[in-house]
């Protein structure tokens, strides 16, 4: 297998589980949000405020579509699924794993979406709207889905290993 690409809602555990998974399977680990932060020298919320939603999404698309790696676990930003181009490129280079998390858990983990740097397109104003818009996209691009409800990062990583081996 070339890569494992983690997709899912903000705070679904992509970075935490991705690092653990990479260690378990002997792959490198890439967090595309950290790459964006490193290039820009700013927090995601600052980039979104300065560039606007479309400007941030263009940057995110460029970074994710341009990744040329193998044998890596890639933790994407939650909004990468807005780019069909980036997702097609990521899927060509690996298996996409959707980390499913419930809306109540997202609300608990992210009390302030704007401060966290979550992309809110158009008229979206709350977690419920964001969830309703993104879930179909995650499901569309997923090769494998893992329900993360009431599981430890260790359990989720083990389940991913089983599912990507099938």
Mean pLDDT of the 42-64 span: 93
Residue 1 has pLDDT above 70, yes or no: no
The SS3 assignment for 1 reads: coil
pLDDT at 118: 77
Q: Which helix (H) or strand (E) covers residue 73, if one does?
A: strand 72-75
Higher pLDDT, residue 80 or 111: 80
Across 88-113, average pLDDT: 90
pLDDT band for position 110 (50/70/90)?
A: confident
Pairing state between β 95-100 and 144-147: parallel
Rounded average pLDDT over 135-142: 96
Asked if 94 contacts 26 with a C-beta cutoff of 8 angstroms, the reply is no
Q: Span 62-69, mean pLDDT?
A: 95
pTM for the whole structure: 0.93
Q: Any residues with CB less than 8 A from the CB of 2 and at least 6 apart, and which?
A: 70, 71, 93, 94
Task: Using alpha carbons, select from 110, 95, 100, 93 the residue that is nearest to residue 137.
Answer: 100
72 falls in which pLDDT band (50, 70, 90)?
Answer: very high
């Amino acid at each position: 297998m070339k890569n494992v690409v983690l997709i899912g809602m903000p705070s679904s555990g992509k970075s935490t589980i991705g690092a653990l998974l990479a260690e378990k399977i002997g792959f490198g680990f890439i967090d595309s949000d950290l790459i964006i932060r490193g290039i820009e020298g700013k927090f995601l919320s600052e980039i979104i405020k300065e560039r606007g939603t479309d400007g941030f999404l263009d940057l995110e698309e460029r970074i994710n579509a341009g990744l040329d790696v193998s044998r890596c676990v890639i933790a994407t930003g939650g909004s990468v699924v807005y780019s069909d181009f980036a997702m097609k490129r990521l899927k060509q280079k690996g298996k996409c794993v959707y980390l499913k998390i419930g809306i109540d858990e997202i609300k608990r983990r992210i009390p302030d979406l704007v401060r966290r740097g979550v992309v809110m397109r158009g008229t979206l104003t709350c977690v419920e709207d964001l969830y309703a818009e993104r879930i179909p996209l995650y499901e569309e691009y997923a090769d494998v889905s893992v329900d993360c409800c009431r599981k430890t990062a260790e359990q989720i990583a083990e389940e991913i290993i089983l599912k990507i081996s099938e």
